[in-house]
Structure formats: structure tokens, C-alpha cells
Amino acid sequence: MKIDYDQNEVKIEIEGSVYNLHPLWIRERSNEENMVDQNSLQRLYDPEKLPVDLKISDLTRINKEKVRIKFSDDHTAEYCLKSLSKELQRSKGLPEQILWDNSNIELKNFEFNYDENEDDQLLKILHYYHQYGFVLVSGLDPKDGEVINFANKIGYIRETNFGKLFNVVSQKQPNDLAYTSIELESHTDNPYRKPVPSIQFLFCIENSCEGGDSTVVDGFKVASDLKNKKPEVFETLSKTLINFKFKDKDAVLEKTGKIIKLSERGELKQIKYSNRLDFVFYQQPDQLEKFYESKRLMHEMINSDKYVLKFHLDPGSLLIMNNYRTLHGRTSYNTAEGSRWLQGLYIDHDSAESKYKLLAHE
């Protein structure tokens, strides 16, 4: 790492990229005593306390890891180059995502042991989850509510109009197709909510029916393949606005969004796909023709053998899925023989990310 300065900027070169750092940008990262509270590391000053024309007066390399910078208002601070470089390279502090389909997925089943070190086990589970967008855990007590106990180890439960948890069983008068025994093709959950639930836990208590296999698809892999091979389809799905709707006697929920949501930097951010709940906004017929063709192609992909990973959940097994990245579904089942009882709930991304970072750091 090369580092240089003049009075207007500090210049850092990391792996061939040059970053020009504004004096105020560096100053905001000073963790010296009079700048931040030493317990919380939160700033003790307001922006107007710093001169707008702040300059760099001096820069000394203390060693390989540290640098000391003096500013024109006489403040001196030490900086860790590793943290600066992590921030500049926009490291999220999470495992790299591995996009997958059936040709490269390494399906692992994490057998949870209540008597062994919980943190070690959770770290491995969350590592895999962040890489692949889902994870399979087994060996839990197959009893009512155990999914709440396990979810509480990772984060806070997001309650919805379906309750703190929802029972996925076949009902006589269901308010959602999940509560029937028919096949559910690949979808993401609840695209009609604001915000859409982040992570779904689906826990198996009973599953002795014929059929009822679970399916998972990496939506980011599908989107990235579309981007490379069918850029016009990718473009249509990432630009067309859709109204997602849910209605029953107690709730009317609606949200506008796109099937493929991108960040401002063009990165894949979220897949929202539920073929039974989406209503594209009015457009001229030729525009809609493109949309319907594109949606049909994506629908075929997310339900094809190339992308659908299928497995049977046994009692005590838990499937944790990133509802912004993966799609899920199930095959139909027959309740004439045996029973099928799953319990589901949602937690937020920030809690799972925070838990991983805390465990990985320790």
C-alpha cells in the first residue's frame, strides 16, 4: 500500500486503485479522545466545529499498519491503514457470496448439537448462509415453537399479520396458498409488505406425507445469468414497476417494486417474485408484451432443473433463507397418508449480519 499527501488530500494506492481522501473525510475517522466518546466511539462534535477549509499539515508513517496525520487546526490523529483500506474497498465484513445452481452447489446439512459450543456452530451456519443465501440445519427438537427458540439465538423476530410464527399446514379455507397441499412454485415471500421480510425460517415438525419436498433457488444466480445471456430481459425485469398485493378479511397490503431490484451502483439487491400476487402497472401494449415475455422466461428458469435445488425436510430440520436473494417453493403433498406441519417466521437482515460479525470477530 502506497501513501502520499499534499495539503489538500491524502492519496492511498491499494491493489492498483488510487483513492484521493478529502481532509474532512479523514478527520471524521479520527478516534482521538477529544473527537469521539471512548466507549461508544461516537463523535462528540457537530460538523460546523470543523473548518471547511481544513488542510493536511503533516503525515508520518508510524509502521506498516499505522499512520499519524496532523491537520491545519492542530489536531493530530493516528489511523489504522487496514481499517481505512477495508472501508475504501467497501468491505461488508461478510463472507463473499457464492452464486450457485445445481452444477456448483455444495449442499451441507449442519447438525445442531444442544450440548456443544453454540457460538462455534452458529458461526459456521451463518457463514454458509451468507455465502449461499440459505442454510439447512438439523437435529433441533421437532416441537411447537422450537423455531422461536432457535431464531432468538440469531436475531429478533419480525411479527406480521400471520403472527409471530405461522403454521404451514393444509387448511380448509386458507387465506394463502401456502396453507393448502398444492405445489408452490419458486417465489419470494410477502413482496407486498413494507419492508419485505428479510430472512425466513422454515422449521419441520412433521413431514410424513408423500411429496412435500422443499425447493430453493438462488435468485441472484438467475438474475446474473439473465444479465449475461439475455440483457434485454434483465433490463425489463429491473425497470418494470409492479404492484404486489395481499388481501384477506383482516389486512390489505400493497407495495410497489421491481422483480429485480438493483442498488445505485448496479449491484443485485433484491428479487421480488410471486406469480400469484403481482399486478404490473398499466403500460402501452408493446411495452407490456416485452414484460410478459421476460417474466415468462424468468418463471421458466426459476422452476427449471438447472436452478431448483430440492430436498426433503425431516422433523427437526430448519431451512433458513435470505428472502431478498433466494426463492423457495415445495412440491405438492398428499395428506391422505401421513401429516405435514411446518412452522415459519421472519427475522431481519441486520440481526443475522450483526451476529455473524460479532462471532467472526471474537
Q: How far is the CB of 178 from Fe ion (least distance, A)?
A: 6
Q: Per DSSP, what are the bridge partners of residue 210? A: 334
Reduced to 3 states, what is the DSSP secondary structure of residue 236? helix
Q: Which stretch binds Fe ion (CB under 5 A): 44-52, 182-190, 213-221, 318-326?
A: 182-190
Among residues 30 and 323, whose Cβ is nearest to Fe ion? 323
Q: Per DSSP, what are the bridge partners of residue 68? A: 60, 78
Q: How far is the CB of 322 from Fe ion (least distance, A)?
A: 13
Q: How far is the CB of 359 from Fe ion (least distance, A)?
A: 28
Among residues 189 and 278, whose Cβ is nearest to Fe ion? 189
Q: Which helix (H) or strand (E) element contains residue 296?
A: helix 285-302
Residue 125 φ/ψ, nearest 5 degrees: -60, -45
Q: Which stretch binds Fe ion (CB under 5 A): 183-191, 228-236, 267-275, 294-302?
A: 183-191
Q: Which stretch binds Fe ion (CB under 5 A): 87-95, 187-195, 300-308, 313-321?
A: 187-195
Q: What is the rounded CA–CA span in Å between residue 313 and residue 208?
A: 10
DSSP per-residue string spanning 301-356? HHTSTTT-EEEPPPTT-EEEEETTTEEEEE--EETTSS-EEEEEEEE-HHHHHHHH
Among residues 36 and 253, whose Cβ is nearest to Fe ion? 253
CA 195 to chain centre: 13
Among residues 189 and 218, whose Cβ is nearest to Fe ion? 189
Among residues 101 and 189, whose Cβ is nearest to Fe ion? 189
> Which residues, 6+ apart, have CB-to-CB distance to 52 below 8 Å?
24
Q: Does 189 bind Fe ion (CB under 5 A)?
A: yes
Q: How far is the CB of 91 from Fe ion (least distance, A)?
A: 32
Q: Does 185 bind Fe ion (CB under 5 A)?
A: no
Reduced to 3 states, what is the DSSP secondary structure of residue 105? coil
In this structure, the strands spanning 326-330 and 214-218 are antiparallel
Q: How far is the CB of 344 from Fe ion (least distance, A)?
A: 8
Count of chain residues binding Fe ion (CB under 5 A): 1
Q: Which stretch binds Fe ion (CB under 5 A): 115-123, 181-189, 213-221, 274-282?
A: 181-189
Footprint of Fe ion on residues 211-240 (CB under 5 A)?
none
Among residues 346 and 356, whose Cβ is nearest to Fe ion? 346
Among residues 176 and 235, whose Cβ is nearest to Fe ion? 176
- For cell 435470505, name the residue: 322
Q: How far is the CB of 293 from Fe ion (least distance, A)?
A: 26
Q: How far is the CB of 238 from Fe ion (least distance, A)?
A: 23
Q: How far is the CB of 216 from Fe ion (least distance, A)?
A: 11
Rg of the chain over Cα atoms, rounded to whole angstroms, equals 25
Bin 31: left if φ > 0, else alpha if -120 < ψ < 50, else beta.
Answer: alpha
Among residues 23 and 197, whose Cβ is nearest to Fe ion? 197
Residue 146 burial (10 A CB sphere; 0-12, 13-18, 19+): middle
Residue type, 44: L
The residues of the shown chain that bind Fe ion, judged by CB under 5 A, are 189
